[in-house]
Amino acid sequence: MFKRFRRLRINETLRNLVQETVLTPDDFIYPLFVREGQNIKTEVASMPGVYQMSIDEILKECEYLVSINLKSIILFGIPDTKDSVGSECLCGESIIARTIKAIKAKFPQMFVVTDLCFCEYTDHGHCGILDPKTGSVDNDKTLEISAQQAVVHARAGADMIAPSGMMDGIITTLRNALDENGFKNLPIMAYSTKFASGYYGPFRDVAESTPSFGDRRTYQMNPANRLEAIEESLEDEKEGADILMVKPALAFLDIVRDIRNQTNLPLCVYNVSGEYAMLKHAGIAGLIDYERVMMETMIAFKRAGANIIISYHAKEVCEILRKN
């Protein structure tokens, strides 16, 4: 006697009844990139379908996202002026602050997450204040200005803050700053396990954040380290993070599962620009069934243990889910 697994596969309705992992629009956060100006919607060559947009175009995009039931976005800013410490993002009228206010005024139901970092705002492209002796980021000085940036985002109306710079102690720093300024109920989604990955290449085109020298391996994680990856996320949980994250996603599904097995916190994955670009360009070239592979990839993230998926595919996924 042997088990006939095919009994549960032959009928489509039965296949759907026993499907273990499903996708809904509530699983997704969609990245948006805002820059100064009016009537700007510039497609990024390395990431077809991804745009730099001015605030007025961001509002048009949010209107469409609401119509397909995609309720959550994460904002990245592209300023006109950069300096050594990213001063633009520390003021109440920063490009991010103005965008949050504009979105919340017109679409109060939109859940606005803000990426908190300095790489887009510094003239050197690194994620904080540089230490002149080491040429790397000064962790503790960067914590101080990160707290300032978090309060700016909170006062503008952000629904959740997501610090991506991989500074040690960032969650404790932001939690204290937010609590002291009356934002005890504002959640923090930690970029808790973020690798120094080659998959980020196209993001630096859209965010204009390529380092002017060196790389980020002194503060982002070594992709070879599994145990350290788990420890990074568990430390952010101890410091008070509300949601953990693994970034990138596709090549690190083993880490997603490892962390899922170690914590009860919600877990996010960031399906990054290089992962998106590979599928997109392969689809354009006719090498894969793009929609099928895209949906299969999203299922893989959830099956590995993710509750939330940040993805440049999110809009297309929600369009497909709406049709079905």
Segment 71-109, tens digit of pLDDT: 999 999 988 888 877 878 888 999 999 999 999 999 999
- Pick the range with the lowest mean pLDDT from 63-67, 119-123, 181-185, 242-246: 119-123
Asked if residues 65 and 73 have their Cβ atoms less than 8 Å apart, the reply is yes
| pLDDT given for residue 215 in this prediction | 66
Segment 215-267, tens digit of pLDDT: 667 778 999 999 999 999 999 999 999 999 999 999 999 999 999 999 999 99
Segment 130-179, tens digit of pLDDT: 888 887 888 899 999 999 999 999 999 999 999 988 889 999 999 999 99
How many CB atoms are closer than 10 A to CB 136? 15
292 is in an annotated binding site: no
Averaged over 266-279, what is the pLDDT? 97
Averaged over 304-319, what is the pLDDT? 98
117 is in an annotated binding site: yes
Which stretches does DSSP call E strand in 45-103? Answer: 47-53, 72-78
Segment 39-59, tens digit of pLDDT: 999 999 899 999 999 999 999
pLDDT category of residue 4 using cuts at 50, 70 and 90? very high
| pLDDT given for residue 264 in this prediction | 98
In order of their start, the domains of the chain are: 23-323 (3.20.20.70)
197 is in an annotated binding site: no
| pLDDT given for residue 216 in this prediction | 67
How many CB atoms are closer than 10 A to CB 295? 18
Averaged over 110-125, what is the pLDDT? 88
Place of tokens 């700016």: 152
| pLDDT given for residue 274 in this prediction | 94
| Whole-angstrom distance, CA of residue 266 vs CA of residue 308 | 8
pTM: 0.94
Nearest 5°: phi and psi at 217?
Answer: -75, -15
303 is in an annotated binding site: no
119 is in an annotated binding site: yes
Instruction: Indicate which residues carry an active-site annotation.
Output: 194, 247
232 is in an annotated binding site: yes
Spatial CA neighbour of 184 closest among 240, 233, 268: 240
Spatial CA neighbour of 82 closest among 13, 36, 114: 36
pLDDT at 207 over 70: no
Q: What is the rounded average pLDDT for all residues in the chain?
A: 93
